[in-house]
Structure 1
Amino acid sequence: MDEIEWWEFDSAKEMAEQVAGDIGFVIENALEAHGGARLAVPGGSTPDLIYAELLKRKDIDWTKVTLIPTDDRLVPLDHELSNYRKLHGFFGAKKADLVSLVDEAALEDAQEAGRLADARLSLLHWPLDLACLGMGADGHTASIFPGPDFDAAINGPRARRALGVRPDPMPEAAPVPRVTLTAAALSSARTVMIVISGAEKRRVLEQALKEGPLSSLPIGRVVSAIDASIDIFWSAE
């Protein structure tokens, strides 16, 4: 990676305002450069404030913006655990191009779900203009977890952009298989952001960054493969 820059905030709201502003700048530059913007964005609860701030911007032509979840759970698209459902709730009315990683015909087969997602993503222009990453307290990012599919998600062919995964152990809050963007897809993005909050996640991320490519934590392995500069946004709350 070229360099890492930390941005620190006292509150989640202050952080969301800054992150939304920077994402808006990425979109603006992408529209000027090639007429469209392609962004991979995280699920979970942390991005909600960011998405709300983005919707306040009147200068974004969302019809020219493609949004892809960095990962999703193998559940129906209208399920409460679906990251696609979250994105549709925020940006569907704006007519953004929302790309689902989940094909409802393959909910019982993670490998097939991954193949179908990879085929769908192959129809887009790459690389991404932005990969915005969250991180769990265990060091996972997107749905790159420890488990039998970890090596494929980290070290698989660079042409492979999505993969079906079965975390081991399963996360308690959502114990279902996933589809995730691969480390190769995320690390090729023109711009990379990591958004986290709380002292514990900061400690985990700092450890992963220190360990680099030898890290046992998924975020450490993903970050070590990134060529672009990385902005890390952290809030105390």
Structure 2
Amino acid sequence: MIEAEWWEYDSVDEMANAVAGDIGFIVDSAIEARNAALLAFPGGETPMPIYTKLAEASLPWKRVTIIPGDERLVPMDSELSNVRAIAKTFLPIGARVVPITGDIADHKLAGNSADARLQDLSWPPDLVWLGMGSDGHTASIFAGPDLDDALNAPKARRAVGVMPDPLPPEAPVARVTLTRAAILSARTILITIRGQQKRELLEQAIEDGHSSKLPIGRVLAEAEQPIDIHWCP
């Protein structure tokens, strides 16, 4: 049974303040315990107000490493790039931002390269922060021919390349994503979503657990730690 705690807010700004505060606590705790923090952040629109609040927080950013939890196989200066938004916000305040992709077009090879890059980081992450698409994907664990690779990769494997099927119309490109095992290795897992439709979708995925047809349900069904879900309309 997935142990999930829902946190509800009346506005985006209220959610952003609360989530930024929680992430700040995670950073401070990690640095106190290990003198460093490793965070995996999502892409998309929902995280942006939270990024802004975090950037305003007085945290020891020079000891923080941030990776994207998934990345699209596009140039890093593309507006579709997840690491672009992370770097734009957090590099100026001193954080270390590590891209997980390079100039590799083949998604399988890009996945191998991303995995090698992540093997060089001190694992596990202190936080994996997830979003969810309206199709039930999380990170870039999509339905399609590579779903099994992402869900059932060996525990030592941290990233794989995926080709969603169908391709999402807003970003019809191949991806690299953290594996289910890499996501669930995190000390803390946090989810942010907006809108009633996504809430109902996620509630159903959690209820269905291992039998869920949605990638996020399949990912969370294996979680051993409680999941914090932050939602606003």
TM-score tier by shorter-chain length is over 0.9
SS of the counterpart of 1:95?
coil
Corresponding letter in the other structure for 1:69? P
1:167 corresponds to: 164
Corresponding letter in the other structure for 1:71? D
Using structure 1 for the length normalisation, give the TM-score: 0.96
Q: Does 1:216 align with 2:216?
A: no
Cα deviations by residue, 1:155-202 (Å, 9 ceiling, x for unpaired): 111111001100000000000000001110001111111100100000
1:200 corresponds to: 197
Unpaired runs of at least 5, structure 1: none
Q: Say if 1:188 and 1:227, in contact at 8 Å, map to a contact too.
A: no
- Cα distance in structure 1, aligned partners of 2:47 and 2:56: 15
2:102 corresponds to: 103
- Higher mean alpha-carbon deviation, 93-102 vs 129-138, is at 93-102
- Cα distance in structure 2, aligned partners of 1:4 and 1:207: 12
Structure 1 segments (4+ residues) deviating >6 Å: none
Out of 161, 182, 185, the position equivalent to 2:182 is: 185
- Cα distance in structure 1, aligned partners of 2:77 and 2:68: 15
Corresponding letter in the other structure for 2:51? Y
- Cα distance in structure 1, aligned partners of 2:186 and 2:76: 26
Q: Say if 2:136 and 2:214, in contact at 8 Å, map to a contact too.
A: yes
Out of 220, 223, 228, the position equivalent to 1:226 is: 223
Out of 114, 118, 121, the position equivalent to 1:117 is: 114
- Cα distance in structure 1, aligned partners of 2:4 and 2:46: 21
Cα deviations by residue, 1:73-99 (Å, 9 ceiling, x for unpaired): 000111110011111110111121111
Q: Say if 2:180 and 2:219, in contact at 8 Å, map to a contact too.
A: yes
Instruction: Summarize the Cα distance change of 1:163–1:43 in structure 2 as closer, same or farther, 3 Å threshold.
Output: same
Q: Give how far 1:3 is off.
A: 2.5
| Aligned pairs for 1:77-88 within 5 A | 77-88=76-87
- Cα distance in structure 1, aligned partners of 2:2 and 2:101: 33
SS of the counterpart of 1:132?
strand
Number of aligned pairs? 233
- Higher mean alpha-carbon deviation, 111-120 vs 95-104, is at 95-104
Corresponding letter in the other structure for 2:186? A
Corresponding letter in the other structure for 1:74? L
| Aligned pairs for 1:143-154 within 5 A | 143-154=140-151
Corresponding letter in the other structure for 1:35? N
2:18 corresponds to: 18
Q: Does 1:51 align with 2:48?
A: no
Q: Say if 2:2 and 2:220, in contact at 8 Å, map to a contact too.
A: no
Using structure 2 for the length normalisation, give the TM-score: 0.98
RMSD: 0.9
**% of aligned pairs identical?**
55
Unpaired runs of at least 5, structure 2: none
- Cα distance in structure 2, aligned partners of 1:52 and 1:208: 30
Corresponding letter in the other structure for 1:18? A
